[in-house]
Structure 1
Amino acid sequence: MDNKITFEEIFEQNERRIHFQIRKMNIRDPHNEYFQEGLVALWNAYETYQPDKGPMATYFNYTIRNRLIDRLRKENRYEENKKKAIHEELTIRFDGNHHSNQSKATIPLVQMDNFPIDNPDFWKQLKSQLTENQWKCVYYHIIEDMPYKEIAIMENTTVDAVKSWGQQVKQKLQNPQFHQKIHLEIPTKKQ
């Protein structure tokens, strides 16, 4: 007869161990995603445990903790990549919009390197200085990456109207007084 303890018994005895590791690492887990991760780690530890290698409790703690750390690292990499992608997209969108002077040289409207795009206060300040339609254009076209046509359909207007909202925003962003209103510091180029 096999005297092996079932996983259900192991789970009942060690469920608090998972919660302990989550709390110890200060992880917010409103949807129990980390608990599920810890549960999978507990299962893996149960399946691979070798009694001659050390105490079961130590092995469970080690396996659960490392699995949670791996999950945290993965989510942090995802968030960093997401921020980089947003920054690159905004850089492309704004640096691609130029106006030309009489000598046919193009001058960028705004250098995106100076925009604090990952600062929520910046977006709130910008929103407070735009009309509702101008903010819709910024939000949907720049942040949500929606084409003008989709925005026009959603807002029950024309594509030209949506483009006009965007043009108004670009004109505001060219104005140094507007930069002061939104607390945006654009360093001047030394000549």
Structure 2
Amino acid sequence: MRLDKKMCQFEMILEQFEPMITVAIRKCRIYKNHEHYRQTARIALWKAWQKYDDLQGDFAPYAYTCIHGSILDELKKESRYEDRYQPQEDVLLSLSTISAGQSETACLLKELLNTLPKQERQLLVDYYITGYSYEELTTKYHTTIAALKKRRMRILEKLRKNL
């Protein structure tokens, strides 16, 4: 029965702090997986509510700090994961490993690449053949790493459809 009362209290707190969670998500510039980060923020609010001590001051600033910090931690974790684990398609599209014995595959690949606009083809060449890193490509294309990754994924999806 005591647990039910405590859960009811937290549900009221959660309802009250949902706008704060939304603000924290916007401030961290989350553009995908909104529900994942919202859940991360809710868990942080729960932990903050559990640890809160009335003698330390108001709850709202403490809750916001916990929420914002947990979202940033989750972003760092996701970024580290993306940096360490590249998708297998990088290996499949590595054009520099095509040998003369695979000329039929090379011709097919060349035809497939020629269906792309020049800018999209150039991005793939820069990334896969020239070996530029995302950091180097951000200065060349004047955009963010996330935008480049998304653009590359869209190009690869387009190639798959044409295949």
Specify which structure has the higher proportion of helix.
Answer: 2
Do the aligned partners of 2:10 and 2:46 also contact (CA within 8 Å) in 1?
yes
Deviation (angstroms), 1:54: 3.0
Distance 1:69 1:31 in 2: 13
Aligned twin of 2:99: 98
Aligned match for 2:152, one of 120, 127, 130: 120
Structure 2 unaligned spans of 5+: 102-124, 134-148
Partner-residue secondary structure (3-state), 1:72: helix
Identical amino acids, percent of aligned pairs: 28
Q: Decide whether aligned partners of structure 1 residues 122 and 85 sit closer, same or farther in structure 2, where only a CA change above 3 A counts.
A: same
Distance 1:58 1:10 in 2: 14
User: Rg larger in 1 or in 2?
Assistant: 1
Do the aligned partners of 1:38 and 1:64 also contact (CA within 8 Å) in 2?
yes
Q: TM-score, normalised by structure 1?
A: 0.47
Distance 2:42 2:154 in 1: 40
CA RMSD after TM alignment: 4.0
Aligned twin of 1:55: 58
Do the aligned partners of 1:45 and 1:63 also contact (CA within 8 Å) in 2?
yes
Code of the aligned partner of 2:12: E
Residue deviations 1:50-78, cap 9 Å, x none?
A: 22233211110110000000111122223
Question: Does residue 20 of the first structure (1) align with residue 23 of the second (2)?
Answer: yes
Deviation (angstroms), 1:94: 4.3
Distance 2:80 2:92 in 1: 20
Question: Does residue 11 of the first structure (1) align with residue 43 of the second (2)?
Answer: no
Aligned match for 1:75, one of 75, 78, 100: 78
Partner-residue secondary structure (3-state), 2:100: strand
Q: Decide whether aligned partners of structure 1 residues 8 and 121 sit closer, same or farther in structure 2, where only a CA change above 3 A counts.
A: closer
Q: Decide whether aligned partners of structure 1 residues 122 and 60 sit closer, same or farther in structure 2, where only a CA change above 3 A counts.
A: closer
Partner-residue secondary structure (3-state), 2:80: helix
Q: Decide whether aligned partners of structure 1 residues 27 and 55 sit closer, same or farther in structure 2, where only a CA change above 3 A counts.
A: same
How many correspondences in the alignment? 117
Aligned twin of 2:42: 39
Code of the aligned partner of 1:32: E
Do the aligned partners of 1:37 and 1:68 also contact (CA within 8 Å) in 2?
yes
Do the aligned partners of 1:18 and 1:64 also contact (CA within 8 Å) in 2?
yes
Code of the aligned partner of 2:18: E
Distance 1:61 1:54 in 2: 13
Of structures 1 and 2, the one with the larger relative CO (CA 8 A, separation 6+) is: 2
Do the aligned partners of 2:52 and 2:59 also contact (CA within 8 Å) in 1?
yes
